[in-house]
Amino acid sequence: MDFAWSYLLVALMVVSCSALPQLDRNMGHPGEAPLPTPVGTCPEYSYNTVFLSDAYYCGYYHQCSNGVPIRMKCPSGLHWTVGYTDSYYFPTCDLPSQSNSNCRKDTPY
């Protein structure tokens, strides 16, 4: 009787594990969505903080640090954009209706 229960338990574990999302080794994460990718290249050295938009998703942007883009995320429901006020530009996360970026609106993350 114990053997039957052990067999059933192993069978249930195999079935439940096969239903989990599978890692897409080409992308590095489950699913088919591309990884967030910066638009442009970070300068190796800069006196000012440099921000880059994401090539695919509205909710992401990249902050440059010594030539390396560091992926950042806007708070939920907000889109990355560059605002303009009183003769200077500033990076910000804003409502989708106020965003001026040309990114995908279906951010999966």
pLDDT digits (tens, 9 = 90+) for 2-51: 655 555 555 545 444 433 333 334 444 455 556 668 888 889 888 888 88
What average pLDDT score do residues 61-69 get? 90
The dihedral region occupied by 47, where left means phi > 0, alpha psi between -120 and 50, and beta the remainder, is alpha
Could you tell me the residue ranges of all domains in the chain? 34-109
21-35 confidence digits (pLDDT tens):
333 344 444 555 566
Q: Which residues contact residue 59 at a Cβ distance below 8 angstroms, ignoring those fewer than 6 apart?
A: 73, 74, 76, 78, 79, 80, 107, 109
pTM score: 0.58
